[in-house]
DNA sequence: CGCATTGTTGAGCCGCTTCAACTACTGTGG
DNA sequence: CCACAGTAGTTGAAGCGGCTCAACAATGCG
């Protein structure tokens, strides 16, 4: 298969979920960039290192600007609750409790952008529409997680789960400006298995079958989607459910 | 077992998730009730009737004030994506897309409160903190659905799923001011099964086993929780994950 | 180059599904 | 108020999908 450079790729701000909080504002016809000095850009988190732990106070909205993370259920190191790729917010549900709900661990050398809750509040006093942006952002997160849940819960066979997972990853990458048909998945088979509620061996076997059937070409962590339509069909959910899924 | 009145019970506004949008505001030391004439209270939806369909434009924030609903994956009448009980918001993720993501069907004669998105926007111009309330509300929803997903996805046995389901229902009822140990579940076994990814027969069998083991007493749609601690333990997740779960 | 980790493959077993028969409800009309 | 029909829930037997466990292969790292 074609080789893919594994060099860390940055998401563009234009394709980042959190850009509603960062991009300059138009105020009275003048562009106003309030974020300078407020947004902490590109903090490096090395592979296998934590960004935060469950129970940590939620102080900043954080977003993956490059790389990827897994969210792990505290106390069950084996139980993966989700993945976050470049351009995606991390654990936004934690705002409500004031504390993080999961451990976040970098799957590769990664970078995050962060903006403090206080800054958001401050800015919202100056820019009337700013909170509106945040509200839509939260609703977006809610939408995504609902989708995801619909895809992964319910009585679903191993094939359906993996097809849904791959199709979902493809769509997420596309949304954030990365190649949708050819990518590297930084997580281990174990992580995928845990996340999908399968055994590592089953993941391996199903992937091999997909490969054999010409749906994908996979070699280690590198994947090439050969027949996205058939994958979506295998996931057996309304097309509308996959279009904006993550 | 003790008989439980099946009369529809209203959630108190104090225990309703959406009250951040409805309860009077303190402005300049004076209580100001902006909602009069804005909030549509207690619209009746009869059993088995739809409140909305997937694809309908999202115009109002809706909340169950009495009764219960199921959210169904469009096109798959058998696939239940979630339940909403009295005091809970319905399909808040739809705000992002502007269209509803699921069909909502009443599981019994039910009532909903509704407040239009426009009203929310209007009010937010008058009350500075109003959008802040909405943001926290959205984060709360996000938190809940994340919890739920952690409980239901991953490799989980039928016993774990049902224990998590029952413990979760108990906590949700408690949060909204209803008896937590003795309640009526308005949905059919089929719905529970679909939601948990099990077969109807399995649900029946596991409930019978729980009954036999003294964890619950159940008769038809009526349930009495006898040993909530053991149920939570069976659900096998950190206590912190169940405390605020729904 | 050698060790450690990760991924693949195989055999046997267990839990859940499927399908079907049966029983218990619920509601409706006589 | 009872009889009956239709629906919902329970129970049993059989088959199979995916798990477990273990051996092996490949990959990555010092």
Task: Give residue-wise pLDDT tens across range B61-111.
Answer: 999 989 999 999 888 878 899 999 999 999 887 888 888 989 999 999 999
| pTM for the full predicted model | 0.86
Q: Which nucleotides of C are covered by protein (CB under 7 A)?
A: 6-11, 15-20, 25-26
In chain A, residues with a C-beta closer than 8 Å to the C-beta of B144 are 93
Interface contacts A/B by beta carbons within 8 Å? 162
* CB of B89 closer than 8 Å to CB of A138: no
pLDDT of residue B6: 39
Burial of B238 (0-12, 13-18, 19+ CB in 10 A): middle
pLDDT of residue A206: 97
Q: Is the CB of A154 under 7 A from strand C?
A: no
- One-letter-per-residue 3-state SS of chain A: CCCCCCCCCECCHHHCCCHHHHCCEEECCEEECCCCCCCEEEEEECCCCEEECCCCECCEEEEEEECEEEEECCCCCCCEEEEEECCCECCCCHHHHCECCCEEEECCCEEEEEEEHHHHHHHHHHCCCHHHHHHHHHHHHHHHHHHHHHHHCCCCCHHHHHHHHHHHHHHHHHHCCCCCCEEECCCCHHHHHHHHCCCHHHHHHHHHHHHHCCCEEEECCEEEECCHHHHHHHHCCCHHHHHCCC
Backbone torsions φ then ψ of A109, nearest 5 degrees: -60, 125
List pLDDT tens digits, range B156-190. 899 999 999 999 999 889 988 999 999 999 999 99
The label of the residue with tokens 């027949």 reads: A227
pLDDT of residue B107: 95
Structural tokens at position B178: 């209803």
pLDDT of residue A146: 79
Rounded percentage of chain B residues whose pLDDT exceeds 70: 85
Q: Across-strand partners of B71?
A: B82, B104
Give the residue from B194, B20, B221, B165 showing the smallest Cα distance to A153.
B194
pLDDT of residue A109: 92
Backbone torsions φ then ψ of A212, nearest 5 degrees: -60, -35
Residue B213: pLDDT band (50, 70, 90) is very high
Instruction: Provide, in whole angstroms, the distance separating residue B47's CA from nucleotide C27's C1'.
Output: 15
Q: Mean pLDDT of residues grouped by 10 in chain A (246 residues)?
A: 46 82 60 60 88 92 93 86 92 85 93 87 78 81 81 84 93 90 95 95 97 94 94 75 48
The label of the residue with tokens 């792990």 reads: A72
pLDDT of residue B193: 96
* CB of B148 closer than 8 Å to CB of B245: yes
Give the residue from A156, A160, A179 showing the smallest Cα distance to A169.
A179
Q: Do B154 and A74 touch (CB under 8 A)?
A: no
Statement: residue B228 has pLDDT above 60: yes
- Indicate which of B96, B145, B202 best probes the interface with A, i.e. most A CBs within 10 Å of its own CB: B96
Q: For chain A, which domains are there?
A: 6-149 (2.60.120.10), 154-244 (1.10.10.10)
In chain A, which residue's Cα lies nearest the Cα of B240?
A101
Contacts of B121 (CB under 8 A, 6+ apart): A132
Backbone torsions φ then ψ of A225, nearest 5 degrees: -85, 120
Q: Is the CB of B38 under 7 A from strand C?
A: no
Q: Is the CB of B200 under 7 A from strand D?
A: yes
Q: Do A142 and B194 touch (CB under 8 A)?
A: no
Q: Do A142 and B96 touch (CB under 8 A)?
A: yes
In chain A, residues with a C-beta closer than 8 Å to the C-beta of B165 are none
Residue B153: pLDDT band (50, 70, 90) is confident
Statement: residue B5 has pLDDT above 50: no
């Amino acid at each position: 298969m074609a080789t893919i450079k594994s060099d860390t790729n940055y998401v563009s701000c234009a394709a980042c979920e959190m850009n509603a909080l960062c991009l300059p504002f138009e105020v009275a016809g003048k562009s106003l960039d309030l974020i300078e000095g407020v947004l902490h850009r590109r903090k490096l988190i090395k592979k296998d290192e934590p960004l935060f732990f469950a129970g940590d106070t939620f102080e900043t909205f954080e977003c993956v600007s490059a790389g990827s993370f897994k969210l792990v259920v505290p106390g069950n190191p084996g139980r993966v609750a989700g993945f976050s790729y470049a351009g995606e917010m991390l654990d936004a549900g934690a705002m409500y409790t004031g504390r993080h709900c999961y451990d976040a661990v970098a799957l590769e050398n990664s970078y995050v952008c962060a903006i403090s809750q206080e800054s958001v509040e401050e800015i919202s006093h100056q820019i009337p529409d700013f909170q509106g942006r945040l509200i839509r952002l939260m609703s977006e997160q809610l939408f995504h997680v609902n989708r995801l849940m619909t895809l992964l819960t319910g009585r679903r066979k191993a094939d359906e789960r993996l097809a849904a997972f791959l199709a979902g990853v493809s769509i997420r990458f596309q949304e954030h400006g990365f190649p949708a048909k050819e990518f590297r998945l930084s997580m281990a088979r174990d992580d995928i298995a845990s996340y999908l509620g399968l055994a590592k061996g089953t993941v391996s076997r199903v992937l091999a079958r997909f490969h054999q059937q010409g749906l994908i070409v996979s070699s280690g962590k590198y994947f090439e989607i050969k027949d996205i339509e058939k994958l979506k069909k295998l996931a057996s959910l309304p097309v509308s459910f996959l279009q904006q899924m993550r």
